[in-house]
Amino acid sequence: MSIYLDNHATTRIDPAVIDVMVRMMETNYANPGSTTHEAGRLVSGLVADATQSIASHFHADPDEIIVTSGATESNNLALFGVAMHPKQTRRRIVSAVTEHRAILDPLVQLEKHGFEVIRLPVFPNQHPFAGGIDLSLAAESINEDTAIVSIMLANNEIGTIQPLAELAKLCQRWGVPLHTDATQAAGRMPMDVQAMGVDLLSFSSHKFYGPKGIGGLFVRQSPAAVRIQAQIVGGGQQFNLRSGTLNSVGIVGMAKALEVVESNLLAEMPQQAYLRNLLWELLNERIDGLILNGPVWNAMAPRESTRLVNNLNVCFPKVEGQSLMLEVPDLAVSSGSACTSVEPHPSHVLRGIGLSEDQARASLRFGIGRFNTEAEIRKTAEWIGKAHAKLAAFAA
Ligand SMILES: Cc1ncc(COP(=O)(O)O)c(C=O)c1O
């Protein structure tokens, strides 16, 4: 038996998504840009319908969605697109220390282009809102020279959900576009760009049971259009903002994935919260001295918690996360974000909430997904409990 609990890194593609993609590949393979013939017009129509459906999931209009290769590209398009627009005169960018590298690395590049980057600290692990930004510090950092604010909706390691609606009000005061990296949140909580008040939002299909290599960026068009500069130029597709033949199979697959999310989300959220809470309880029954990394949750009202329902991040006493993973080879979990887990550095997110290097190295991230069962959660707790007891005995 192998158990997959690494649903923050990626998710298993839903069978319903595979079905529509295979059908699309077999029959509707024409280029959606080839509107001179019937086959192309048919695919163009299917892509338009899929884009409409993707947009409505986010409460956006279809002309506000730019399809990309995933969240890394969407984040790059948002940050470079706003900062490097020819009419851009502002020089400050506000973000946070716990962002994903798909934000942090572009920010380093923008600093080299002369931008001043403010990386907000976050509340420490002892705080009930661990990993959350302090809105009063954000308010002090946002001013008339701020070109863009970029704060992720939910953290990929500790699940913290940021107060975007409040942040949006601060941004609006200075006419600053607010970007959010919603990669971990999309598919796991309701998405409404109007209620959040964000101007740009990145998402990636493989995090919500869709195919890899496709995602999107919401770019607000009303009441005022956000000005972004294209980063990929060529055939002029997608309003000239992202050229290249549309990935019609991916777009239809991503739309189907969001459709499945729409019909399942209200049942999935409490179910995943239940499994996450159960895992935490069972681990505590077997191991003394565990530390919860990230915000506490409200077991009675998962939808009101400031933590993703499917996220658990735990610091184990006396034992390294990597060693635990080696002891339990049939369990897929992670000791950091997928993009950085090949690096020896301890997680910048765990360091950002004040954990020591040793504590960060002694931590594991569990990500529950649609296909996990209670039996798997019980087995995971058993495996980890035994592995920890064995390793801790060596360490003593
Ligand atoms: C918060 C966050 N942003 C961006 C990314 C990058 O997404 P993609 O793999 O679609 O480029 C990830 C993926 O792990 C993520 O978790």
What residue ranges do the domains of the chain occupy? 3-10+265-395, 15-258
* Coil vs helix vs strand at 261: helix
Residue 180 token pair: 């959010």
**Confidence band (pLDDT; 50, 70, 90) for 324?**
very high
Ligand 1 centroid–CA 93 distance in Å is: 20
Ligand 1 centroid–CA 71 distance in Å is: 5
Ligand 1 centroid–CA 37 distance in Å is: 37
For ligand 1, atom 14, the nearest C-alpha belongs to: 9
**Residue 272 CB–ligand 1 contact under 6 Å:** no
Can you give the pLDDT at residue 126?
Answer: 93
Can you give the pLDDT at residue 200?
Answer: 98
For ligand 1, atom 16, the nearest C-alpha belongs to: 156
**Residue 179 CB–ligand 1 contact under 6 Å:** no
**CA pair distance 74, 237, nearest whole angstrom:** 16
**Confidence band (pLDDT; 50, 70, 90) for 216?**
very high
Ligand 1 centroid–CA 35 distance in Å is: 34
Helix (H) or strand (E) holding 92: strand 92-96
**Residue 156 CB–ligand 1 contact under 6 Å:** yes
**Confidence band (pLDDT; 50, 70, 90) for 282?**
very high
Measured from the Cβ of residue 84, the count of other Cβ atoms closer than 10 Å reads 16
> Residue 299: is its pLDDT beyond 80?
no
Measured from the Cβ of residue 355, the count of other Cβ atoms closer than 10 Å reads 21
Taking phi first (over 0 means left), then psi (-120 to 50 degrees means alpha), and beta for anything else, what does residue 363 get?
beta
User: Which stretches of the chain are DSSP H helices?
Assistant: 15-27, 38-57, 71-83, 101-112, 135-141, 164-173, 193-196, 248-286, 321-327, 348-352, 357-361, 374-395
**Residue 72 backbone dihedrals phi, psi, to 5 degrees:** -60, -45
Average pLDDT over residues 103-128: 97
Give me the helix-helix angle, 248-286 and 15-27, nearest 10°: 160
Can you give the pLDDT at residue 305?
Answer: 84
Nearest ligand 1 atom to alpha carbon 205: 10
Can you give the pLDDT at residue 184?
Answer: 98
Can you give the pLDDT at residue 300?
Answer: 74
Can you give the pLDDT at residue 303?
Answer: 63
Can you give the pLDDT at residue 122?
Answer: 98
Cα angle at 40 between 59 and 46, to 5 degrees? 25
Can you give the pLDDT at residue 394?
Answer: 85
**Residue 70 CB–ligand 1 contact under 6 Å:** yes
Average pLDDT over residues 282-307: 89
Ligand 1 centroid–CA 68 distance in Å is: 13
For ligand 1, atom 13, the nearest C-alpha belongs to: 9
> Residue 56: is its pLDDT beyond 80?
yes
**Confidence band (pLDDT; 50, 70, 90) for 345?**
confident
CB 349 within 8 A of CB 300: no
> Residue 179: is its pLDDT beyond 80?
yes
**Residue 152 CB–ligand 1 contact under 6 Å:** yes
**Residue 153 CB–ligand 1 contact under 6 Å:** no
For residue 331, the 8-state DSSP code is: E
Residue range 2-14, pLDDT digits in tens: 999 999 999 999 9
Among 110-124, 266-280, 323-337, which stretch is predicted with the lowest mean pLDDT? 323-337
What amino acid is encoded at 356 in this protein?
A: S
Residues in the chain: 396
Can you give the pLDDT at residue 152?
Answer: 98
Catalytic residues: 339
Question: 15-258, what's its fold?
Answer: Aspartate Aminotransferase; domain 2 (3.40.640)
**Residue 205 CB–ligand 1 contact under 6 Å:** no
* Architecture label for domain 3-10+265-395: Alpha-Beta Complex (3.90)
Average pLDDT over residues 378-383: 98
Select from 324, 318, 335 the least CA-distant residue to 385.
Answer: 324
> How far from the centroid of its chain's Cα atoms is residue 393's Cα?
37
**Confidence band (pLDDT; 50, 70, 90) for 302?**
low
> How far from the centroid of its chain's Cα atoms is residue 37's Cα?
39
Strands 331-332 and 3-4: parallel
**Residue 72 CB–ligand 1 contact under 6 Å:** yes
> Residue 344: is its pLDDT beyond 70?
no
CB 250 within 8 A of CB 205: yes
Ligand 1 centroid–CA 83 distance in Å is: 21
**Confidence band (pLDDT; 50, 70, 90) for 1?**
confident
